[in-house]
Chains A and B, each alone.
Chain A
């Protein structure tokens, strides 16, 4: 009893007064207000895994872009095959940091010779620059193919999802048909057909330098792989368009294009990010198996996939020739996936703690 009285005497009645406006204001958690994008970046910068992945992607990309310009060897030069001289077979199949006979001679005379870091391949081409160049090709294919898929999928999916009705029914039946085709077979057939017909079409244009195989690869992607992207985006749009903020925009008199641009697409951005990040490695893989069966990039252009398949011939003697491009593929795929996850976490406020 005494205790309670003591405690009661310590309590002041002013403690029970209503909070003044000032007190209320200070209780409100103040934080600098930033744009949505900055906010997302701030959260992204707190995710070490995503940051490391991002740095890796940037490094690999920079290496693929810059190194071919400064490297003394070219990806398609057979070093033992100098015009006017007989073939120097000692350039072929060099191990890492090994030198050919003529290079050894030049070094003995005190000349500086740039080492073959990964050795050379069966035709005497510097393997390091081939891997770098292959990375460049694979990244380009992955990026542009995903971009094509994204653009087609985004337009078709959002129009179909937003307008619904007959448009949706029609588009989705086409999607179903394309979806039900055996895609491996279609890719092979399409690229075989396109390769032949495109070669004639693009003769003499700038496109010729890219090569008919590469263009047919992009077309195959554009024609086949947009469907899953379109489906994904349509599903998102269907769910989002029931949100009351879309109704609010319609009450305000907004048109379909405004609603799609301002409300629907920004709100499925995280899903789009993720699927593009996943689309790139899947495009890299598709390019690899096409290269493997000779429908990929035009020889002598290397891609990581064609390097892997070439390496299969000498797998027992030169296993590193398979391991290196495979490792590069893994690094690219893994970092893209981790970075995609990081993006989702950072730009999806619903997941915020």
Chain B
């Protein structure tokens, strides 16, 4: 992946982003669910940042908050160096940042034809006044993602999961965005189709110069497509760095356990992994442990871990880790 030229300016930046949900617990009693807690990172233009973590750790919430689908509890979102605040900035942001969703079924309105679904962002943004030109653009988009343009008048339920996901990609590409949040776009698909769709993402990125935040719970998928990888646990960012670095030299015990969970075809390496797996279950996000969020399952937990959540510290080469381990 070294062939990609990367700009040094961040396209997207989040600073201390938090999203807490208020959960009702009976009358007048609410509890905070810290879905995303104090996450900061930046994504360079032309880069793909992979985001991994167990399901329920706040990946989707982070992606949606980043796109201002949820109002952040605290923190800042910057796009092209400018804070996305206020109506005007948001309007601009909507033309440049889009999303591909996880569920190929619930992400397409069953009452709309494929052409209408793909054209929706164009219609909403008022891009084409001429219907013919809009249709042309839709056909072009369908072509781009490998859909048969003759099927434009069909309804989504007539398509397979992989084709539906391509419709979702075409919709995301309609307004010529610069940045796309891909929220587990392949995890609902058959393994045989996953590779095709991932390659499609890769190809589009090269031809259109896109920037991705690519979310997945599957480290193999993320490693394949990402330049850098961010690892989340219980709403916190625990490790971030170049993809190969994270995969080959993980520092955080959580990242290590994730990598160990990936089936390894190499028996020598498998045998070398003598480390214990994780103990216990992931705690409820309503009841986050004090101090380091991971300490209840960490094989290396010490007394000092209960005091504070460790800061992300640089371990060289842009590899950051939030752990007291060296």
In the assembled complex, how far is the CB of residue A31 from the closest CB belonging to chain B, in whole angstroms?
8
Asked whether, in the complex, the Cβ of A248 is within 8 Å of the Cβ of B168, the reply is yes
Asked whether, in the complex, the Cβ of A252 is within 8 Å of the Cβ of B107, the reply is no
Q: B102 contacts the other chain (Cβ, under 8 Å)?
A: yes
Candidates B98, B106, B108, B111; contact of A251 at CB < 8 Å: B98
Find chain A residues with CB under 8 A from B98 CB.
Answer: 251-252
Q: B325 contacts the other chain (Cβ, under 8 Å)?
A: no
Give the number of chain A interface residues (Cβ < 8 Å).
27
> How many B residues are at the interface, by size bracket?
35 or more
A247-B64, A247-B99, A248-B168 known; A33 and B107 CB under 8 Å?
no
Q: A254 contacts the other chain (Cβ, under 8 Å)?
A: yes
Q: B154 contacts the other chain (Cβ, under 8 Å)?
A: yes
Central interface residue in A36, A244, A254, A258, by most chain B CB within 10 Å: A244
Q: B297 contacts the other chain (Cβ, under 8 Å)?
A: no
Segment among B118-126, B247-255, B261-269 that sits at the interface with chain A: B118-126
Asked whether, in the complex, the Cβ of B125 is within 8 Å of the Cβ of A36, the reply is no
Asked whether, in the complex, the Cβ of B101 is within 8 Å of the Cβ of A247, the reply is yes
Find chain A residues with CB under 8 A from B117 CB.
Answer: 245
A33-B151, A33-B153, A251-B98 known; A245 and B124 CB under 8 Å?
no
Asked whether, in the complex, the Cβ of B110 is within 8 Å of the Cβ of A253, the reply is no
Q: A243 contacts the other chain (Cβ, under 8 Å)?
A: yes
Q: A42 contacts the other chain (Cβ, under 8 Å)?
A: no
Asked whether, in the complex, the Cβ of B101 is within 8 Å of the Cβ of A253, the reply is no
Task: Return the chain B residue nearest A28 by Cβ.
Answer: B148
Asked whether, in the complex, the Cβ of A250 is within 8 Å of the Cβ of B109, the reply is no
Q: A109 contacts the other chain (Cβ, under 8 Å)?
A: no
Find chain B residues with CB under 8 A from A252 CB.
Answer: 94, 98, 120-121, 124-125, 171, 174-175
Task: Give me the 9 closest cross-chain CB pairs, A-B, nearest first.
Answer: A253-B94, A252-B121, A244-B107, A244-B101, A266-B111, A245-B109, A254-B124, A33-B153, A33-B154
Find chain A residues with CB under 8 A from B106 CB.
Answer: 243-245
Asked whether, in the complex, the Cβ of A267 is within 8 Å of the Cβ of B155, the reply is no
Task: Return the chain A residue nearest B92 by Cβ.
Answer: A253
Central interface residue in B99, B102, B113, by most chain A CB within 10 Å: B99
Asked whether, in the complex, the Cβ of A36 is within 8 Å of the Cβ of B111, the reply is yes
Q: A349 contacts the other chain (Cβ, under 8 Å)?
A: yes
In the assembled complex, how far is the CB of residue B229 from the closest CB belonging to chain A, in whole angstroms?
24
Find chain A residues with CB under 8 A from B99 CB.
Answer: 247-248, 251
Measured CA separation A69–B117 after assembly (Å): 50
Asked whether, in the complex, the Cβ of A350 is within 8 Å of the Cβ of B153, the reply is no
A244-B103, A258-B124, A349-B157 known; A251 and B109 CB under 8 Å?
no
Q: Which of A275-308 contact B (CB under 8 A)?
A: none
| Bitwise interface map of A from 317 to 353 toward B, beta carbon under 8 Å scored 1, else 0 | 0000000000000000000000000000000011010
Asked whether, in the complex, the Cβ of A263 is within 8 Å of the Cβ of B94, the reply is no
Asked whether, in the complex, the Cβ of B91 is within 8 Å of the Cβ of A244, the reply is no
Q: B69 contacts the other chain (Cβ, under 8 Å)?
A: yes
Q: B134 contacts the other chain (Cβ, under 8 Å)?
A: no
Q: B67 contacts the other chain (Cβ, under 8 Å)?
A: yes
Asked whether, in the complex, the Cβ of B120 is within 8 Å of the Cβ of A267, the reply is no
Q: B224 contacts the other chain (Cβ, under 8 Å)?
A: no
Q: Which of B25-67 contact A (CB under 8 A)?
A: 64, 67
Asked whether, in the complex, the Cβ of B153 is within 8 Å of the Cβ of A263, the reply is no
Q: Which of B128-167 contact A (CB under 8 A)?
A: 151, 153-155, 157-158
Q: B260 contacts the other chain (Cβ, under 8 Å)?
A: no
Asked whether, in the complex, the Cβ of B124 is within 8 Å of the Cβ of A253, the reply is yes
Find chain A residues with CB under 8 A from B256 CB.
Answer: none
Q: B205 contacts the other chain (Cβ, under 8 Å)?
A: no
Asked whether, in the complex, the Cβ of A244 is within 8 Å of the Cβ of B125, the reply is no
Find chain B residues with CB under 8 A from A36 CB.
Answer: 111, 113, 155
A251-B69, A252-B94 known; A244 and B111 CB under 8 Å?
no
Find chain A residues with CB under 8 A from B108 CB.
Answer: 245
| Bitwise interface map of B from 278 to 298 toward A, beta carbon under 8 Å scored 1, else 0 | 000000000000000000000
Measured CA separation A244–B117 after assembly (Å): 13
Candidates A34, A251, A352; contact of B94 at CB < 8 Å: A251
Find chain A residues with CB under 8 A from B97 CB.
Answer: 251
Measured CA separation A350–B97 after assembly (Å): 31
Q: Which of A29-44 contact B (CB under 8 A)?
A: 31, 33-36, 39
Find chain A residues with CB under 8 A from B110 CB.
Answer: 267, 349-350
Q: A249 contacts the other chain (Cβ, under 8 Å)?
A: yes
Between A and B, 21 residue pairs with Cβ closer than 8 Å are A33-B153, A33-B154, A33-B158, A34-B153, A35-B153, A245-B108, A247-B64, A249-B124, A250-B69, A251-B67, A251-B69, A251-B97, A251-B98, A252-B98, A253-B95, A254-B124, A262-B109, A263-B111, A266-B109, A349-B110, A350-B110
Task: Return the chain A residue nearest B95 by Cβ.
Answer: A253
